[in-house]
Chains A and B, each alone.
Chain A
Amino acid sequence: MTPRPERQSPSGTDANGVQSLEVEGLGVRIGSTTVVEGLDLVLEGGAYWGMLGPNGVGKTTLLRHLAGLVRPAAGQVSLGGRPLDHWPRRQLAQRLGMLQQHTAYVFDASVRDVALTGRHPHLGAWQRESAEDRALADAALGRVDLGALADRSVTSLSGGEARRLAFATLLVQDPDILLLDEPTNHLDFRHQVRLMRTIGDRIYRDGHSGLAALHDVNLAATYCSHVLMLFGDGAWEAGKATELLTSERLERLYQCPVTAVDTAEGRRFHPAFSSSGGDGSSSSTRA
């Protein structure tokens, strides 16, 4: 296991007053399965973490711990030096937000109204959404290409549209720390790229921090500065993306032969499609 990595990003951590999420000695179990043991991690401003791991290794459960939805059995997660369960939920929601893996809208609200719920932690009990709040919601909807659907019912959205709406709601919530559970699920190429860029902008340009559970190694290679790998049985490795993303580690991670391809955009990976080796689809061009 590697020590906690040094962060080297162009923007300073404290320049924006962003509090970092600190994980110390965190142990997470699901029943008798160990997800991680002794996890030390700091989500500092300007760092974009990608979390990689095979199906069912516990990525979602770990994210729920990082969001303070579950009290850890061992170790602790704290924000600005204060353990998450000591934070009032509302104040926490002003600073930390999470995109869940599944989004289902049951009630017949409009797309704009759902996006506006992102302002909830910022509003007092009797306070109504201001024109500014509405402008924020409309801007976020525009960002995910849902501007034209703002008056539609959420129950009529497609899977990808519902996903983009959930992400827009997170943008409206505007937290410093973004936790994302497979954010690119259901999204087409265009929206995968837009979403990852939007997150990247918030992190690298505005000095926020984030961690996204991803299944697409190449999205992690393209957009993330750091990578956290969960190997199962509590084993983990964390560090700079450029150092950790190697064929050997990915093969160990996914228990599957992996081929690396060098492209103009950098090194990219794909599973070796034919069992004899990695020449199943050697042409690898990504736009």
Chain B
Amino acid sequence: MRHPRPWIVLLLLTALCLVCGVLATAVGSVALSPTDWWTALTQPASSEGELLWRLRIPRAAAAFVVGAMLAVSGCLMQVLLRNPLADPYILGVSGGSALFALLGFSLGLATFWMPILALVGALVAVLIVFGLARGDGPWSGTRLLLTGVVTAAGWGALISLVLATGPDNSLRGMLFWLMGDLSYARLPAWTLVVLLLCLGVVLANARRLNVLSMGETTARLLGESTQHLLWGIYFLSSLLTATAVSVAGSIGFVGLIVPHLMRLLVGSDHRVLVPSAALFGGAFLVLSDTLARTVIAPQQLPVGVITALLGVPLFLVLLNRARLRPQAP
């Protein structure tokens, strides 16, 4: 299993992102031909320019940043729990944020508050898991996982409670939040800062992630003080997930299948894997969102439905391929 050269992969992925960006901004209720698209792009004042610059580009940009965040967060969570099938939501981050956003809905707060509530909810979930799992003892991946999974189940129950007792007219909005939706997503500048900062920190520590993915004891024997590293990864991964959820709700499967696909493509060296996953995660969500607003237009689907519909079969195929693939001689 020789992997292609990293710079070729990164170049191709960047090209893919651009193609997806053009596609996402050209198709929709008003389809733009290549020449119209170019005119709209260069003349923001025209009506088509308005459409492009005020609606489609912000939405595509939000999709890209959210996708990249979830993919990077997935990479981190997989190292943290030392399981290539771990998902950024597995520790209950999405549950906490969804609950807080839903409470906002049922209290009739303005949509302006939703991202803020979602972010607060995600951070509350992170702090609860952190506080409970840390205890006094040393790091334990199992304890973290169990605490996270049980907390996530608790959030789920509370969410059902809010849905069952909430006003009917806000149910649809709530469901969109639970499934993940980019219809109203805007991209505050600080989310971009979060993504870039986290990417920088992760890349600076990428070789440490390689070592850590071989196990905590192995990492210590190779010179890492793993306690700080593990909590640092937990913090970064949670911050990325919380930010992503606050922008677009809990969009599933991106953080699971994108790192997995990229591992097949570039291997497990995080110096290449993390940037590849960021690019591909962004492109994947931009594409999924384009599908979500075009397949049954004029009606829009929550993008989470599309990522799940694409993600589940893809994941099963990958899993089977890995099992059936004959061993290389």
Shortest Cβ distance from B199 into chain A, in angstroms? 15
Q: Which residues of chain B are near A173, meaning CB under 8 Å?
A: 222
Within the complex, which residue of A89, A109, A153 is in contact with B223, where a contact is CB–CB below 8 Å?
A89
Shortest Cβ distance from A104 into chain B, in angstroms? 7
Query: Contacts A151-B2, A156-B328 hold; do A69 and B214 have CB atoms under 8 A apart?
Result: no
A243 to B207, CA, bound (A): 47
Q: Does B210 sit at the interface, judged by CB under 8 A?
A: yes
Q: Does B311 sit at the interface, judged by CB under 8 A?
A: no
A113 to B6, CA, bound (A): 14
Residue pair B211, A108 in contact (C-beta under 8 Å)? no
Could you give, for residues 104-115 of chain A, a 1 whenever the CB lies within 8 Å of some chain B CB and a 0 otherwise?
111111100110
Q: Does A21 sit at the interface, judged by CB under 8 A?
A: no
Q: Among residues 200 to 223 in chain B, which have CB atoms less than 8 Å away from a CB atom of chain A?
A: 204-205, 207-208, 210-211, 213-215, 217-218, 220-223
Shortest Cβ distance from B202 into chain A, in angstroms? 12
Residue pair B223, A93 in contact (C-beta under 8 Å)? yes
Q: Does A92 sit at the interface, judged by CB under 8 A?
A: yes
Residue pair A89, B225 in contact (C-beta under 8 Å)? yes
Q: Which residue of A lies closest to B222 (CB)?
A: A120
Residue pair A109, B207 in contact (C-beta under 8 Å)? no
A228 to B77, CA, bound (A): 42
Shortest Cβ distance from B1 into chain A, in angstroms? 5
Q: Does B191 sit at the interface, judged by CB under 8 A?
A: no
Residue pair B224, A89 in contact (C-beta under 8 Å)? yes
Query: Contacts A69-B221, A89-B220, A89-B224 hold; do A110 and B267 have CB atoms under 8 A apart?
Result: yes
Residue pair B220, A153 in contact (C-beta under 8 Å)? no
Q: Among residues 102 to 157 in chain A, which have CB atoms less than 8 Å away from a CB atom of chain B?
A: 104-110, 113-114, 117-118, 120-121, 123, 125-126, 128, 151-153, 156
A128 to B2, CA, bound (A): 19
Could you give, for residues 71-110 of chain A, a 1 whenever the CB lies within 8 Å of some chain B CB and a 0 otherwise?
0000000000000000001111110011010001111111
For the A-B complex with A92-B223, A94-B223, A110-B3 known, give 7 more contacts whose Cβ atoms are closer than 8 Å. Answer: A93-B222, A107-B213, A107-B268, A108-B268, A109-B210, A120-B223, A121-B223
Interchain residue pairs with CB less than 8 A apart (22): A69-B217, A89-B220, A89-B223, A90-B223, A93-B221, A94-B223, A100-B221, A104-B215, A106-B82, A106-B83, A108-B1, A110-B267, A114-B214, A117-B222, A120-B223, A123-B207, A125-B204, A125-B205, A125-B207, A151-B1, A151-B2, A153-B1
Which residues of B are at the interface with A, using a C-beta cutoff of 8 A? 1-3, 78, 82-84, 204-205, 207-208, 210-211, 213-215, 217-218, 220-225, 263-264, 267-269, 271, 327-328
Which residues of A are at the interface with B, using a C-beta cutoff of 8 A? 67, 69, 89-94, 97-98, 100, 104-110, 113-114, 117-118, 120-121, 123, 125-126, 128, 151-153, 156, 173
